[in-house]
Amino acid sequence: MHIMEGFLPIEHAVGWGLVAVPFVAYGVRSVNRRLKENPELRMLLGVAAAFSFVLSALKLPSVTGSSSHPTGTGLGAILFGPAAMAPIGFVVLLFQALLLAHGGLTTLGANLFSMAIVGPFVAAGVFRATQACRASLAVSVFLAASLADLMTYVTTAGQLAWAFPDPVGGFIAAFSKFAGIFAITQIPLAISEGLLTVLIFNALSRLNAPELLALKLGGRREVQA
């Protein structure tokens, strides 16, 4: 993540694009419905989009044809639900491909699936599960953001292994190699992203309390990093 332009075989590039389309379409409907009900959430949505754009643009070289970086999608998934991050992620990845040469147009679907679909659904699921288990808000936010980041890279490793299986060990061997190399940079990045997301959520709880209340996340004590 991001997989670079032209790196995937054409059938994989097209396939991931087709898989991502329904999520983006549903996400657009979800965001429009939420903003129609609560127009004051537009600024908070912009914060979530900017957070993802900035963090995911901070890339480190990793597996050939890819890179390591935070994703920033956990915050938006916690605030607006995982569906909303698909269209936001589409815009973020499209702008990065066109303006920063980060990722690519042919690999947009694959990058979108790992970062803006799998990651946010993991984040939302972890957040809800930990809150249901009465974990502190700090723990829930940290785990949601960190595991969303890690699962993005597990997905990318799977995408690369599927496209380029090992000549001897096939998919499993290739996946182990890709995931192992990613882990060197991605585990510390995921921990860092989790801590940063806690700090940002803490700031939002002070500065945007009415908006968080509208999202049913208000009325709680600030989280502590």
Residue by residue, pLDDT tens for the chain (225 residues) are 688 899 999 999 999 999 999 999 999 999 999 899 888 899 899 999 999 999 888 877 665 556 678 899 999 999 999 999 999 999 999 999 998 888 899 999 999 999 999 999 999 999 999 999 999 989 999 999 999 999 999 999 999 999 999 999 999 999 999 898 888 888 999 999 999 999 999 998 888 777 787 787 754 444 444
Give tens-digit pLDDT for 180-221. 888 888 899 999 999 999 999 999 888 877 778 778 775 444
Helix segments in 82-133, DSSP class H: 85-99, 108-112, 119-132
Instruction: Write down the number of H helices and E strands in the chain.
Output: 9, 2
| Residue 3 belongs to a domain | no
> Would you state the pLDDT for residue 33?
92
| Residue 220 belongs to a domain | no
Number of domains forming the structure of the chain: 1
> Would you state the pLDDT for residue 40?
87
Confirm if 59 and 102 have CB atoms less than 8 A apart. yes
Confirm if 62 and 68 have CB atoms less than 8 A apart. yes
> Would you state the pLDDT for residue 68?
77
CATH code for the domain in which residue 165 is found: 1.10.1760.20
Instruction: Report the interhelical angle of 137-163 vs 119-132 (nearest 10°).
Output: 150
Is 0.75 topped by the overall pTM?
yes
- Distance (Å, whole) CA 179 – CA 176: 5
> Would you state the pLDDT for residue 225?
43
Nearest to 216 by CA among 13, 31, 38, 1: 38
| Residue 195 belongs to a domain | yes
Confirm if 182 and 157 have CB atoms less than 8 A apart. yes
Q: Which domain holds residue 118?
A: 10-214
> Would you state the pLDDT for residue 218?
56
> Would you state the pLDDT for residue 62?
63
Confirm if 34 and 84 have CB atoms less than 8 A apart. yes
Give tens-digit pLDDT for 78-92. 999 999 999 999 999
| Residue 223 belongs to a domain | no
Task: Report the 10 Å Cβ neighbour count for 118.
Answer: 22
| Residue 221 belongs to a domain | no
> Would you state the pLDDT for residue 61?
66
